[in-house]
Amino acid sequence: MLIPTARFEYSHALTGAYNQTMSYTGLPGTNYIVSATPVANDLFTGGLGLRAETAGGFWAELEYLLSGSTRQVEGQEVRASVKQAF
């Protein structure tokens, strides 16, 4: 039996601000500061797939996923899985 599948996901990640001080042992008294501002990321993922199932508890699935933010496409993914019930 062939079963079409669809997926939609939304994720929101928060990254806090930080200040990181670093120095080199070969250069005593020299300090560098690395700073980052807080960032919020919204990521949307959508995908289509196809699952094949047999009566013996075996199935295989193939899925294509596309992820993007509100500004650009972030990535593409192809997933394949094979499973057997026991």
Instruction: For strands 31-36 and 39-53, give the pairing.
Output: unpaired
Question: What whole-number distance in Å separates Cα of residue 64 and Cα of residue 84?
Answer: 22
20-58 pLDDT per residue, tens: 888 887 777 788 888 877 666 788 999 999 999 988 889
**Domains: count for the chain:** 1
54-75 pLDDT per residue, tens: 888 899 999 999 998 877 888 9
> Which residues form the domain of 25?
2-84
Instruction: For strands 18-23 and 31-36, give the pairing.
Output: antiparallel
Comparing 17 with 61, the larger pLDDT belongs to 61
Token couple for 76: 């593409």
pLDDT at 10: 92
